[in-house]
Amino acid sequence: MGVAAMKISGCVVVMILAHTALLGSLMAAAAAAAATASIDLSTAVLISVDQSGKGDFKKIQDAIDSVPPNNSQLYFILVKPGTYREKVVVPADKPFITLSGTQPSKTIITWSDGGDIFQSPTLSVLGSDFVGRYLTIQNTYGSGDKAVALRVSGDRAAFYGCRILSYQDTLLDDTGSHYYRNCYIEGATDFICGNAASLFERCHLHSISKNNGSITAQHRDSLTQNSGFTFLDCKITGIGSAYLGRPWGDYSRVVFALSYMSSAIVPAGWDSWAGQTKQSTVFYAEYKCYGPGANRAHRVEWSQSLSMEEAAPYLTKAMIGGQSWLRNAPTYFKRGSTIIKANVGNN
């Protein structure tokens, strides 16, 4: 096959992958619409958490435990400023919970645990239709083993203005459709990992690796899986050197678009994780990124530079079906039989 034919074939593959992702997102959108049809999204039951004892609960987990299983209402858990030293789990049978601070620097959920990727998280979100706002979520275990700060395994989860901090496997973006906006995510090794279909918009990714750590380790292991990470209008910085990603799964899919890349990004850009077997099956792509680390002159040849047409499906919330499930902050709060006007700002 000649060089021209290979280029044409590569473009066809890129377009097929893009349109497959769009089809999958449309199917997810239909499912999301059905899930939210019976929920009043304008009004939420308000629960307050305050370490001083002036709220409904002193611990975040106690507030979550108070939500009835299979709830059919929105629950808004407002966490007052403080450092909450606890492991927190949002169970699979408790959907439609919002966990909100007021400023991420003042509302901190912290723990220290390492080893098992599913057992170490400080915050585990298993329930669907979860929203996290203005929180710091951290695992202080440090280097030496997997130490997840945030695990997201529920479908249709969104995070706004959060700080997510650890060293290895900081964010286990496990499965489902997810959205992250204006979040700061920090780590050294594979610090955004998992097999979700996620859009990261206007996020700051900061590598604390001193020597070629990987920012992403996306786990898509089949062509039929509609998963992958897209980073749109993001900022990537670091204290040493870092790769944009390496493949946890054979069909790993990651796209960086319209994003700033500092000199921390190594010229090759992408790592094949100690072998060439995945180079022909992964989909690693960039579109109109800028900054000293965005120069593609020395990128690995098995990564892609997308055209406008090829990039289009990755540049909107439609790629995660977000138009049908991303929701605004509630307009009203309910406390007992009283309904009051909410004043928490929008997401």
Give me the active site residues, please. 169, 190
d(CA 314, CA 305): 13
Residue type, 39: I
Give the chain's count of helices (H) and strands (E).
3, 28
Instruction: Name which of 171, 110, 106 is nearest 140 in CA terms.
Output: 110
- Output the CA–CA distances (angstroms, integers) from residue 249 to 245, 302, 331, in the order listed: 12, 16, 42
Strands (E), 105-147: 107-111, 123-125, 131-133, 136-139
Closest CA to 75 of 124, 153, 129: 129
Round to whole Å and give the CA distance between 89 and 61.
7
Instruction: Return the closest-CA partner of residue 326 out of 150, 163, 161, 180.
Output: 180
* Continuous H helices in 188-259: none
Task: Tell which phi-psi region holds residue 273, choosing left (phi > 0), alpha (psi between -120 and 50) or beta.
Answer: left
Whether the CB-CB separation of 284 and 245 falls below 8 Å is answered with yes
Is residue 244 within 8 A of residue 262, CB to CB? The reply is no
Q: b/e map of 32-66 (b: 16 or more CB within 10 Å)?
A: beebbeebeeebbbbbebebeeebebeebeebbee
